[in-house]
């Protein structure tokens, strides 16, 4: 039973030498969909995201407002399309920054070891001790709020976690013979990290990245609520859910669709990461 692949895929993964099960494919398809929405969203939105188009609030789905209206009477579909750019964009950049920083520091700590490793680990542990709320407030007060600041704050909050995870992996790979041989050859730390250790911890690091992406999407709205980052009339999906929470009592679409959007994005990211395409090693 070979599932049909999505239409625009020229060659099935099998011909390209990869096995890729259908769960992973669904995940990838949804991710690609939301990525496209993030890129072309603003062109597709029927109304401007800030414009109050209907007197009624938490309105039902009608042909005029496909996904109903929000608490102010603005079109939910337009706001979700606009929000996609922020949620997908900011979350992706932040998660990559956090994981890149965490993984590099983790590998350096594992390779150099000794006092450097101990101090760095303790510092980042201490950083975890500071509640993210205080950290967010301080950043707003010290640097003002803008999207880059929001991205850096999110990256800083999630870097210690990524560091701790990557360091544990790197320590195991560091004991392998091929690293010892490279060291015996006289290789320096940058080479050891880049070519010997990193390729071998990429798989689990990607899985961790998927999980962190989920957390960042949710914390994103918390920080915007603090006044850090996405300014009105724009908002990320988390903020849409937060501002329309009142609709829950009416079961109005204004709360349902932003939540569905978040859930579909985060679940598909994890479905894709858990079922990454693996190279077929069958020596036919």
Partner 1 sequence: MTKTPTNWTGRDDAMVEDMIRRGATRRQLLKMLMASGVGVAAGGSLLMRAGAAHAETPVSGGHLRAAGWSSSTADTLDPAKASLSTDYVRCCAFYNRLTFLDEAGEVQMELAEKIETDDAKTWNVTLRSGVTFHDGKTLTSDDVLYSLNRHLDPAVGSKVNSIAKQMTEITKVDDLNLRIVLDQANADLPAILALHHFLIIADGTTDFAKANGTGAFICETFEPGVRSVGKKNPDYWKAEGPYLDSFEFIAISDDNARVNALLSGDIQLAAAINPRSVRLVESNNSVKTSVTTSGNYSNLNMRLDIDPGDKAGFVEGMKYLINREAIQKSLFRGLAEVANDQPVSPADRYHNPNLKAREFDPERAKALFDKAGLLGTEIPIVASDAATSSVDMATIVQQAGRDVGMNFKVERVPSDGYWSNYWLKAPVHFGNINPRPTPDILFSLLYASDAPWNESHYKSDKFDAMLSEARGALDEDKRTSIYWEMQEMVANEAGTAIPVYISNVDALSSKVGGLKPNPLGGMMGYAFAEYVWLKD
Partner 2 sequence: MLLSYSTSILVLQRLAIALLTLVIVSFAVFFATELLPGDVAQILLGQAATPEAVAGLREAMGLNQPAFLRFLGWLAGLLHGDFGISYVNNMPVADLIGDRLVNSLRLAGVTTLVSVPVSLCLGIGAAMWRGSLFDRIVTVLTISVISVPEFMVATLAVLIFAVWLGWLPALSYGADVSSFSAMLKAYAMPVISLSFVVCAQMIRMTRAAVIDTINTPYVEMALLKGARRSRMVLRHALPNALGPIANAIALSLSYLVGGVIIVETIFNYPGVAKLMVDAVATRDLPLIQSCAMIFCVSYLSLITLADLMAILSNPRLRK
Partner 3 sequence: MSNQPLVSIRDLKIGATTDAGRRVEIIRGVSFDIQPGEIVALIGESGSGKTTIALSLMGHTRTGCGIDAGTIRIDQHDVTAMSEAKRARIRGTEVSYVPQSAAAAFNPSQRIIDQVIEVTAIHKLLDRDAAEKKAVELFRALALPNPDTIGARYPHQVSGGQLQRLSAAMALIGDPKLVIFDEPTTALDVTTQIEVLRAFRSVMEKGGMAGVYVSHDLAVVAQIADRIIVLKSGEIQEEGTAQQILDAPTHPYTRELLAAFEPVPHVPLDVPQDASRQPILEVRNLSAGYGPVRNGEPAAKILKDINFRLQPGKNLGVIGESGSGKSTLARAISGILPPYQGEVVVNGVVQEPSLAQRSKEQLRHAQIVFQLPDTALNPAQPIGAILARPLRFYHNMRGAACEARVIELLDMVQLPAALRHRLPGELSGGQKQRVNLARALAADPKLILCDEITSALDTVVGAAIIELLKELQRELELSYMFISHDLSTVEAICDDVLVMYKGEVVEALPAARMSEDARHPYSRLLVSSVPKLDTGWLAGLEQDPELIARFANR
Which residues contact partner 2 (rule: CB under 8 A)? 118, 122-123, 125-131, 133-135, 137-138, 141-142, 211, 214-215, 217-218, 221, 238, 241-242, 245, 248-249, 255, 259, 262-263, 265-267, 270-271, 274
Q: Which stretch binds partner 3 (CB under 8 A): 32-40, 109-117, 192-200, 242-250?
A: 192-200
Residues between 39 and 78 that touch partner 1 (CB under 8 A)? 48, 50-53, 55-58, 71-73
Q: In the complex with partner 2, which residue's Cβ is closer, 183 or 242?
A: 242
How far, in whole angstroms, is CA 229 from its chain's centroid? 16
Cα 25–21–17 angle (5° rounding)?
100
Closer by beta carbon to partner 2, 168 or else 194: 168
CB 166 within 8 A of CB 200: no
- Report whether 34 contacts 50 (CB < 8 A): no
Site for partner 3, residues 19 to 58, rule: CB under 8 A:
19
Min CB(84)–partner 2 separation in Å: 16
Alpha-carbon span 185 to 95, nearest angstrom? 35
Cβ nearer to partner 2, comparing 155 with 255:
255
Place of tokens 């399309």: 81
Query: Mask: binding to partner 1, 168-207, rule CB under 8 A, as x and -?
Result: ----------------------------------------
Distances 3 to 23, 157, 281 between C-alpha atoms, Å: 11, 41, 21
C-alpha 96/C-alpha 100 separation (Å) is 6
CA distance 166 to 174: 12
Q: Give 146 or 180: the residue with its C-beta nearer to partner 3.
A: 180
């Amino acid at each position: 039973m070979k599932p049909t692949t999505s239409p625009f895929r020229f060659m099935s993964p099998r011909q390209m030498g990869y096995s890729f099960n259908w769960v992973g494919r669904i995940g990838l398809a949804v991710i690609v969909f939301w990525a496209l929405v993030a890129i072309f969203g603003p062109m597709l939105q029927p109304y401007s995201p800030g414009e109050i188009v209907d007197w009624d609030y938490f309105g039902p789905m009608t042909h005029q407002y496909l996904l109903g209206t929000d608490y102010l009477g603005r079109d939910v579909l337009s706001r979700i399309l606009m929000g996609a750019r922020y949620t997908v964009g900011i979350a992706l950049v932040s998660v990559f920054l956090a994981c890149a920083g965490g993984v590099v520091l983790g590998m350096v700590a594992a390779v150099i070891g000794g006092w450097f490793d101990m101090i760095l680990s303790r510092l980042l542990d201490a950083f975890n001790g500071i509640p993210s709320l205080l950290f967010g407030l301080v950043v707003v007060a010290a640097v003002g709020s803008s999207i880059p600041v929001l991205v850096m704050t999110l990256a800083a909050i999630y870097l210690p976690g990524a560091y701790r995870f990557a360091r544990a992996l790197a320590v195991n790979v560091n004991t392998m013979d091929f690293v010892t041989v490279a060291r015996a050859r006289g290789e320096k730390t940058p080479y050891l990290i880049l070519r010997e250790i990193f390729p071998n911890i990429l798989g689990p690091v990607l899985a961790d990245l998927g999980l962190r992406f989920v957390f960042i999407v949710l914390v994103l709205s918390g920080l915007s609520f603090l006044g850090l980052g996405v300014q009105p009339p724009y908002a990320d999906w988390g903020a849409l859910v937060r501002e329309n929470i009142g609709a829950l009592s009416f079961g109005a679409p204004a709360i349902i669709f932003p939540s569905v959007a978040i859930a579909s994005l985060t679940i598909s990211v994890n479905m894709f990461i858990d079922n990454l395409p693996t190279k077929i090693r069958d020596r036919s």
